[in-house]
Structure 1
Amino acid sequence: MSLPLLIHSLLMKQRKFLYHFKNVRWAKGRHETYLCYVVKRRDSATSFSLDFGHLRNKSGCHVELLFLRYISDWDLDPGRCYRVTWFTSWSPCYDCARHVADFLRGYPNLSLRIFAARLYFCEDRKAEPEGLRRLHRAGVQIAIMTFKDYFYCWNTFVENREKTFKAWEGLHENSVRLSRQLRRILLQQKEKYREIGFVKIKSFCTKAVVRSEKTTCKMGENIYK
């Protein structure tokens, strides 16, 4: 693997995890994105953990792209199935979502799940939602982190020193709020396809009626004569 300097120690410091993954409404000053990952190989009903760790973005390169570079160096067996799970402090930006979707098209035997602590929106608030919808169309499972996800991350990726994870005030409420927001974003995709389908059906029916009327006019008398 050619990115040893990009891989941090397997365990994060407690304060760093709590600061960057806290799902507060106004996350001021949190300009870094952290990504905790688990890579598993799936064999029928069982799965084997191959690797886990965490990354953060570097100057000029977002953390999602760092992970793609990292796993691209793996010699993935095309005859086996792999599942990658991300826990991210921010959801992907539009460009990263596009790169991830394109990457997955080249690896049909690899599936991806993303659990985000917060939703990221740039100045153009239409771009990032479209990026999430693009990931969803590519088969990526996207969700907002809940208490059980934080609990898992605390016990898997954090140097917790046997301390039990404790939820901060507002964790559940903010998770529910963000989940609803994400649901609305992804539902817009379904509504769009539903509208497209309706237009196609309506267009088909209209053409069928027109053809029927033309046929009737040819077979019978012109009622407007």
Structure 2
Amino acid sequence: MAEKSRTQMKRKEKETTEVTMDVKEVKNEGEKAVEHDKSPSAEAAATNGDQNGDFQVEPMELPPFETITGDRVDPFVFKFQFKNVEYSSGRNKTILCYLVDRGDTADGLLKGFLEDEHAGTHAEEVFFTQCLPHCDSAIKCTVTWYVSSSPCSACTAKIAEVLKARKNIKLTIFAARLFEWEEAEIQAGLKALHAAGCKLRVMKPLDFSYTWDTFVENDEQPLNLWEDCKENYEYYHEKLADILQ
């Protein structure tokens, strides 16, 4: 147990160091940009415009975030988002890779991925509204997800609702990490999802390699697993087993 605590402390220190370095880099880049920028600031431009009566600076409106869809995930994004670290600093989005087997239908096997940043509709919900909006109730539909983190409490409730309403859909979820698993509402959601017939699994080292080969733009290069991959899998596997028992 003492060894495990030391390992967790090292992980936390490593994650904190990485985040601190990222913040310093962003800050330095920002300072350099200000030093080299010779154009008048937005505030100055607005002031001059008002005095001259020529123009006024309008506030910039950012476009709404849209869920990204595709066949292959960027390798750098995959390596960062799917890394099964305990302290997931900066990993604020969900990547959902899916396989859909509808038996002997003409559509065959469907494959792809969804990516969100939790700024709008989550990837889990988008899957059922865009990727699988309809499924013949007479046809057994086997769905497999490989996700960067397990669903939040709101998504577990929606997924459980779909599985109860569409009995022909059988869903298996392989998660790289457990999202906020200490929270009571998260644990309740995972239990409800399990009760609805969903198979919940934590990704093993072989699952990461399979996902890399199947869903990532890898240029036929193998995945070099990180040092603590197996240990972290065992950690999350134990936590999930405790929750679902």
Give the TM-score, by structure 1 length.
0.75
Q: How far apart are 1:73 and its partner, in Å?
A: 2.6
1:57/1:66 contact within 8 Å kept: no
The corresponding residue for 1:162 is 220
Structure 2 residue 199 is matched with structure 1 residue 141 = yes
Q: How far apart are 1:68 and its partner, in Å?
A: 1.6
The corresponding residue for 1:177 is 235
SS in 2 for 1:8: strand
2:68/2:116 contact within 8 Å kept: no
Structure 2 residue 169 is matched with structure 1 residue 92 = no
1:118-151 CA distances to partner (integer Å, 9 max, x unpaired)? Answer: 01118x8100011000000000000100111111
Which residue of 5, 22, 31 corresponds with 2:92?
Answer: 31
Structure 2 residue 129 is matched with structure 1 residue 69 = yes
d(CA) in 2 for partners of 1:31, 1:121 = 12
Show the 5 A alignment for 1:103-114. 103-114=162-173
d(CA) in 1 for partners of 2:131, 2:140 = 14
d(CA) in 2 for partners of 1:9, 1:110 = 22
SS in 1 for 2:76: helix
d(CA) in 2 for partners of 1:55, 1:158 = 12
SS in 1 for 2:70: coil
d(CA) in 2 for partners of 1:6, 1:28 = 21
Report the identity percentage.
Answer: 36
d(CA) in 2 for partners of 1:183, 1:171 = 18
- The residue identity in structure 2 corresponding to 1:38 is L
Q: How far apart are 1:25 and its partner, in Å?
A: 1.4
- The residue identity in structure 2 corresponding to 1:145 is M
Equivalent pairs counted in the alignment come to: 178
Runs of 4+ in 1 over 3 A off after TM superposition: none
d(CA) in 2 for partners of 1:9, 1:69 = 16
d(CA) in 2 for partners of 1:54, 1:71 = 10
Q: How far apart are 1:49 and its partner, in Å?
A: 4.3
1:36/1:87 contact within 8 Å kept: yes
Give the TM-score, by structure 2 length.
0.69
1:97/1:132 contact within 8 Å kept: yes
Structure 2 residue 101 is matched with structure 1 residue 40 = yes
1:146/1:172 contact within 8 Å kept: yes
- The residue identity in structure 2 corresponding to 1:111 is K
1:85-136 CA distances to partner (integer Å, 9 max, x unpaired)? Answer: 01111101111100000011111111000000001118x8100011000000
1:35/1:89 contact within 8 Å kept: yes
Q: Which structure 2 segments of 5+ residues have no match?
A: 1-65
